[in-house]
Amino acid sequence: ILNVEQSPQSLHVQEGDSTNFTCSFPSSNFYALHWYRWETAKSPEALFVMTLNGDEKKKGRISATLNTKEGYSYLYIKGSQPEDSATYLCAPRGLSNTGKLIFGQGTTLQVKP
Amino acid sequence: DTGVSQDPRHKITKRGQNVTFRCDPISEHNRLYWYRQTLGQGPEFLTYFQNEAQLEKSRLLSDRFSAERPKGSFSTLEIQRTEQGDSAMYLCASSSQGLVDTEAFFGQGTRLTVV
């Protein structure tokens, strides 16, 4: 899998705003899609692993959807809080058995109190 | 702490010197990965181990880079004759081999600065 694109590259919102990001990837050779949150000075933290077309996952105020046929995933944050400030990375996995992840460049979210 | 740990957290070295980083994965994980992240980019895959066998290397990994996982537990990544372009965050991740939705767990990374 090549050409993983995330948009926007960065985002500044006010506390309480809802926001969403996009991850686009080639739909061929798809196996799974991972979303990670990476806060400054911490480890990237897994949010979701999604595999099936139409999958929708939720963790608290964060949810994600997956469309494998057209090659995109959306991440939504409802009622953003300052602690949501981080870089959000998506990483599709191809059909190889290695578990290797190909990351997009990330969307950096800054939530202002 | 039972997560992935990396050492050192930060390394400043002069161009031309050799550096070595260490990664201790989650103990029951047989898969180990190294990634490199530069400013404004997502992490890029460098290499993958299953137990002690290095099964895949990226073309990004020049012959100055070598990685080992001698007993299938911790891993080291060595960069010889460092160049300024090697300055980056080096991340290690581990996972277990299994279901399609298996997560990879990352360490906090080693930030390398070559001056």
B20-67: pLDDT as tens digits:
999 999 998 999 999 999 998 999 999 999 999 999 999 888 899 999
Cβ–Cβ < 8 Å for B109, B37 = yes
Contact between B48 and A32 using a beta-carbon 8 Å cutoff: no
Which chain A residues have a beta carbon less than 8 Å from that of B24?
A: none
Contact between A99 and B41 using a beta-carbon 8 Å cutoff: no
Instruction: Say whether pLDDT at A1 is over 70.
Output: no
Tokens of B51: 């137990």
Residue A70 has a CB neighbour count (10 Å cut-off) of 8
Contact between A100 and B48 using a beta-carbon 8 Å cutoff: yes
**Average pLDDT, rounded, for chain A:** 93
Which of A82, A5, A72 lies closest to A33 in space, CA to CA? Answer: A72
Higher pLDDT, B1 or B69: B69
Which of B108, B100, B84 lies closest to B15 in space, CA to CA? Answer: B84
Distance from C-alpha of A111 to C-alpha of A109, rounded to nearest angstrom: 6
Distance from C-alpha of B63 to C-alpha of A85, rounded to nearest angstrom: 38
Contact between B91 and A44 using a beta-carbon 8 Å cutoff: yes
Most A CBs within 10 Å: which of B7, B60, B102, B110, as the mutation test of the A interface?
B102
* Mode of pairing for the β-strands spanning B10-13 and B110-114: parallel
Taking only the tens place, the pLDDT of each residue in A30-81 is: 889 999 999 999 999 999 999 999 999 999 999 999 999 999 999 999 999 9
Instruction: Say whether pLDDT at B99 is over 80.
Output: no
